[in-house]
Amino acid sequence: MIFDTDIENSSEILKSGGVILYPTDTIWGIGCDATMDSAVEKIYSIKMMDRGRSLIILVNDIDMLEEYVEDVPQVAYDLLRISDTPTTIIYPDGRNLASGVCSEDGSVGVRICHDKFCVELIKRLGKPLISTSANISGEPFPANFSEIEEALLKKVDYVVKYRQEDRRKNFPSPVIKIDKNGAFKIIRM
């Protein structure tokens, strides 16, 4: 019941340009519609984050990935196929996204999410979600919901209730950057 209510409420907030705090396949995140400029601007404001820093987006499948990345190098498909953990890949050229999502060089970090909640939410929205850690920029990331600062909870438009009681220690995803020639570099393990 909580799951369905949270999906419904979250999707309404996202479609209206709002910001949610939600569980992902890694750590709790702050998110919005990744194609809406005003919503992305709210994320930067809430996190007190420099505009020059890029944001990660979540998609639910390869088709959606290809809609928001100009050319997906073959090595990315190979990495996605063999990865046994949620992995964020930085692609050379993002497209169809709000201003401020891609970095200054045009690259964009994308994770194909397999988490039940995120997949359903992305499906309802029909667009990728921003997924940035639920903390003020520069502060430690929360390993679970109980570690999220109260002040941050008050800044978002909706806080998902689903999985708030989960006390597992979660970690951000590994990040791999791929260039246009297919060469890749591990940014975070």
Give domain limits for the chain.
2-188
pTM for the full model? 0.95
- Cβ atoms of 128 and 57 within 8 Å: the answer is yes
Cα-Cα-Cα-Cα dihedral sign, residues 28, 33, 34, 38: negative
Tell me: pLDDT of 189 over 90: no
What are 81's two structure tokens?
């196929």
As beta bridge partners, residue 30 has 21, 132
C-alpha closest to that of 57 among 40, 44, 41: 40
H helical segments located in 23-68:
37-47, 62-68
More confident residue, 50 or 67: 67
Looking at residue 23, its pLDDT comes to 97
C-alpha pair distances (Å), 35 with each of 30, 96, 189: 15, 7, 28
Where do runs of H (alpha helix) occur along 27-183? Answer: 37-47, 62-68, 74-82, 116-125, 150-153
Comparing C-alpha atoms, which of 70, 91, 89 is closest to residue 80?
A: 89
pLDDT digits (tens, 9 = 90+) for 150-165: 999 999 999 999 999 9
pLDDT digits over 83-123, tens only?
A: 989 999 999 999 999 999 999 999 999 999 999 999 999 99
Q: Which residues contact 146 (CB under 8 A, 6 or more apart)?
A: 167
Secondary structure E strands in the chain: 20-22, 29-31, 56-59, 88-91, 108-112, 129-130, 132-133, 158-159, 175-178, 184-188
Which run of H or E residues covers position 20? Answer: strand 20-22
Q: Is the pLDDT of residue 175 over 90?
A: yes
The CATH number of 2-188 is 3.90.870.10
Residue type, 35: T
What is the separation of C-alpha 89 from the centre of its chain, rounded to a whole number of angstroms? 12
